Amino acid sequence: MANKVYKVKQGDCISSIAFKYDLFPETIWDHPDNAELKSKRKDLSVLKPGDELTIPGKELKEESGTTEQKHRFRRKGVPAKFKTRIVMGGLPVDNEDYILEIDGVFFDGKTDETGYIEVTIPPDAGKGKLTIKDEIFDIILGTIDPIEKRSGVIQRLENLGYFLPDESESDNGKESIDEEISEAIKNFQDSVDLEVTGEVDQKTRDKLVEEYGN
């Protein structure tokens, strides 16, 4: 089958795209035609709406097997992982009961000793809710922006539990919003033993990626 070009939409991620075309995420990501985008985005978990991916055509693969016997074939690369860290008041919420709902499927358990939750979910999962310590958080999957973007920094800070204003709905002026964002950056830098500046440098970006998981 011939290759095709796919334009990334809001809410897409490499896992959901690969699932749609019945391919492994790495098969798409490592295709030579995607080398430029791979170099630009660095991480296959982070795409931006408007990015263009080459979807390679499927190739027939043959497997040998004894006749008149049953054989089981397992599809690799499915499912995906949902991973997030719960931080409140600047401290990780460790060993705390939670209920997670993803596209109508419920999971329950405890956060680990560093506040992380990790569960197995379908690659094309879209949204859900997390309930922990009597707080309910809406979850939208597949919408994280690249760390090089201001929005990508803010999204990771929010998902790590640092309070940030909603710039589209806030009645505060830009200066006040920038101050709140700077304060969140300072709190994060302090929590991971970085120099506390309130500015996003490469060390802060690298640490955000490390703490967030991508």
At residue 20 the predicted structure's pLDDT band, cuts being 50, 70 and 90, is confident
Torsion of CA 91, 96, 100, 106, to 10 degrees: 170
> Any idea what the Cα angle at residue 79 is, between residues 74 and 61, rounded to 5°?
35
Q: Answer with the residue of higher pLDDT: 58 or 135.
A: 135
Determine the pLDDT at residue 66: 58
Give the domains, in start order, of the chain with CATH numbers.
Answer: 4-55 (3.10.350.10), 79-143 (2.60.40.1120), 145-214 (no CATH)
Determine the pLDDT at residue 174: 67
Determine the pLDDT at residue 195: 94
Task: For strands 91-92 and 52-55, give the pairing.
Answer: unpaired
pLDDT in tens, 146-169: 888 888 888 888 877 776 666 554
For 42-68, the DSSP string reads: --TT---TT-EEEEPPP--------TT
In terms of average pLDDT, the best of 30-44, 82-96, 99-113 is 99-113
